[in-house]
Amino acid sequence: MNWPTTDAPISEPILVLLGPTAVGKTALSLALAERFSCEIVGLDSMQIYRHMDIGTAKATAEERARVPHHLLDVVAPDEEYHVARYVADATRACREIIVRGNRPLLVGGTGLYLKGLLEGLFELPAVPEAVRGSLRKRLAEEGRAALFAELSQCDPESARRIHPNDTHRLLRALEIFQATGRPWSEHLREQQVRPFLSKVLQLGLISERDALYERINLRVDQMLGFGLLAEVEKLLALGYDPSLKAMQSIGYRHMLQFLQGQWDWDETCFLLARDTRRYAKRQMTWFGNDSNIRWFAPSDTAAIFACVEAFLAGAKRE
């Protein structure tokens, strides 16, 4: 695994723009980048996949022409991509941007990726393929609830922080326990970690709920109008399995359900908008627990610029 542990933390000031989906990060990120000589580094767990543009709301060609963007289209939908790889890619991108005389601006809504950059990584033990295969077979035969009940017995601390529907982390926790005989939570407590970024300004965009939900509904309508269904059909034609983690994300799994005859079109559209709103709510719950984020309305451009200028001036004095 490519663990970026040999270099000292990046000490140059770095900007981060956070917020739920559809809140208005893209427009503000471009304005920030042009005003403060930034290059944008994606902070999104879906935009790293190639061939998945509409459903992930990637920056358009025109937007990328205005400001350089990094960590888009990094891997194919069937390639594994995890937080450790993201941290390695993001720190490398930030260092290259700084060498060019520009400033990194991280933009997105994947809190776990940012957590890895700011708090460091926990290196987990290797898991034999036999253990991994056995658990996946049991998942298919016994179901997720049975495995979650088992995790609650062998590692209750991890069970409390993992959602019962989070199959990836559920399997990971059980893999570690079966491979080592010790709970994942115990491994985490023993490791010393360090951050990869040391001087960061976190800007958060927040919107009144009804206004955000209206923006989300509009975003969904636009994605459907831009051809989200055709994008999913193209992915299937390229041979990507519908069961892939990337294909089961919001938007893509909804189109698959429609193509498989599970839902009619009206139901598909309704559930896509509903699930996107629920995802935005989960994002805000995650970010709401971080007291280091400075929150602004998307229209508070002047106040945001003033906050960035004060941060950069303070960093320069230091």
Model confidence pLDDT, tens digit, residues 266-311: 999 999 999 999 999 999 999 988 889 999 999 999 999 999 999 9
Rounded Cα gap, residues 118 and 198, in angstroms: 7
| Residue 42 CA: distances (Å) to CA of 39, 55, 68, 100, 241 | 10, 15, 11, 18, 25
- In CATH terms, the superfamily for domain 14-122+193-317 is P-loop containing nucleotide triphosphate hydrolases (3.40.50.300)
121 — pLDDT class (breaks 50, 70, 90): confident
| Residue 306 CA: distances (Å) to CA of 107, 158, 292, 295 | 19, 41, 17, 13
- Residue 74: count other Cβ atoms within 10 Å of its Cβ: 16
Q: What phi and psi, each to the nearest 5 degrees, are found at residue 109? A: -135, 15
Q: Is the pLDDT of residue 175 over 60?
A: yes
5 — pLDDT class (breaks 50, 70, 90): very low
The pLDDT value given to residue 6? 43
Rounded Cα gap, residues 303 and 305, in angstroms: 5
| CATH number belonging to the domain at 129-190, selected among 3.40.50.2000, 3.60.70.12, 1.10.3720.10, 1.10.20.140 | 1.10.20.140
Strands (DSSP E) contained in 44-188 are 69-70, 103-108
The pLDDT value given to residue 307? 98
1 — pLDDT class (breaks 50, 70, 90): very low
pLDDT tens-digit series, residues 50-106: 999 999 999 999 999 999 999 999 999 999 898 989 999 999 999 999 999 999 999
Candidate ranges 129-133, 189-193, 237-241; pick with highest mean pLDDT: 237-241
pTM assigned to the model: 0.80
pLDDT tens-digit series, residues 194-205: 789 989 999 999
Q: Is the pLDDT of residue 2 over 60?
A: no
Domain ranges, ordered by start, for the chain: 14-122+193-317, 129-190
User: Average pLDDT of the chain?
Assistant: 93
